[in-house]
Amino acid sequence: MLDSVLAGIAATLRRLGGGTVAAIGWLGYATRFGVAVVLETPAAFARLSLTLREIYFAGVLSLVIILVSGLFVGMVLALQGYDVLQRYGAAESLGVLVALSLVRELGPVVAGLLFASRAGSAITAEIGLMKATEQLSAMEMMAVDPLARVVAPRFWGGVVSMPLLAALFSTLGVFGAYLVGVKLIGIDPGAFWGNMQAGVDFRYDIVNGVIKSVVFGIAVSMIAVFEGYDARPTAEGVSTATTRTVVESSLAILGLDFVLTVFMFRGGA
């Protein structure tokens, strides 16, 4: 009886130890991969056309979903914000409410989530399929480093695209709020824009929002290229890697957003 209990405990400890060692090994591998990609930065920018091409694929081709989403998020924010603000006679503050919500939080976060779903998954699938069809191996055998030729340009394409997409998301959001607040509901345009101009601080609000979107861009792009490069070279492996990119990126964005918000916004401009 005692022997079987001890054996069970030993087996559990072995599994736990094995799992921990495997997790640390994976973390080490992922870190080494990340460092290697960053070290290939000069290669990515030496072949500027490759990085520009990736900015086109990750950024320009994501424009439709980002712009349309930004417009609707801004319109909904205006409707919801007006509903609350008018109870306290502060409907003229709608502009500043929408602008702060967008540049501080919704712009970087929602644009990041959309970017992870649209561009992150595409990057993972593309690199994963290149691996599954031996294109990466072929490149290695041609004495061309896939990290420099394939991975680094895609990583930097994502990093550059993400803040621009977040800025466009916020801009269209503000425009959507203007359409609903001023054109539909009838708030005075002077109050709408004036309060917004007075209430939004460039350094405190906009720069912090941009920093968030840069951090999210780095996180999503790194997760996307890593999952693609690490994908099992099968149809199922690529599918799993793509799903992991979206899930991990989304969780990373939400977790990082909380951490960054704690450090950036502590209740005073």
Which stretches of the chain bind other proteins, using CB under 8 A?
129-130, 133-135, 137-138, 140-145, 149
CB neighbourhood size of 267 (10 A):
4
- Shortest distance in whole angstroms from residue 136 CB to other proteins: 9
- Please tell me the distance from the alpha carbon of residue 179 to that of residue 226, in angstroms, as a whole number: 41
Residue whose structure tokens are 């030729």: 149
Minimum CB separation of residue 137 from other proteins in Å reads 7
- Residue pair 250/116 in contact (Cβ under 8 Å)? The answer is yes
CB atoms under 10 Å from CB of 128, counted, come to 27
Angstrom distance (rounded) from CA 174 to CA 206: 13
Q: Which parts of 163-223 are beta strand (E)? A: none
What CA–CA distance (Å, rounded) separates 214 from 203?
A: 15
Q: By C-beta, is 131 or 244 nearer to other proteins?
A: 131
CB of 222 to other proteins, least distance (A): 22
* Residue environment code for 223-232, b if the CB has 16+ CB neighbours within 10 A, otherwise e: bbbbbbbbbe
* Shortest CB 133 distance to other proteins, Å: 6
In what helix (H) or strand (E) does residue 117 lie, and over which residues does it extend? none
Closest contact distance (angstroms) between CB of 124 and other proteins is: 16
Q: Choose between 31 and 133: whose C-beta lies nearer to other proteins.
A: 133
Closer CB to other proteins, 43 or 260, in the complex: 43
The length of the chain is: 269
When the beta carbons of 126 and 205 are compared against other proteins, the nearer one is 126
Using CB atoms within 10 A of its CB, is residue 58 exposed (0-12), middle (13-18) or buried (19+)?
buried
Q: Which is nearer to other proteins, 35 or 247 (CB)?
A: 35
Measured from the CB atom, is 148 or 162 closer to other proteins? 148
Cα 184 from Cα 59, distance rounded (Å): 32
Residue 149 or 212 with smaller CB distance to other proteins: 149
In the complex, what is the shortest distance from the CB of residue 42 to other proteins, in angstroms, rounded to a whole number?
16
* CA–CA distance, 176 with 76 (Å, rounded to integer): 8
Q: How far is the CB of 196 from other proteins (least distance, A)?
A: 44
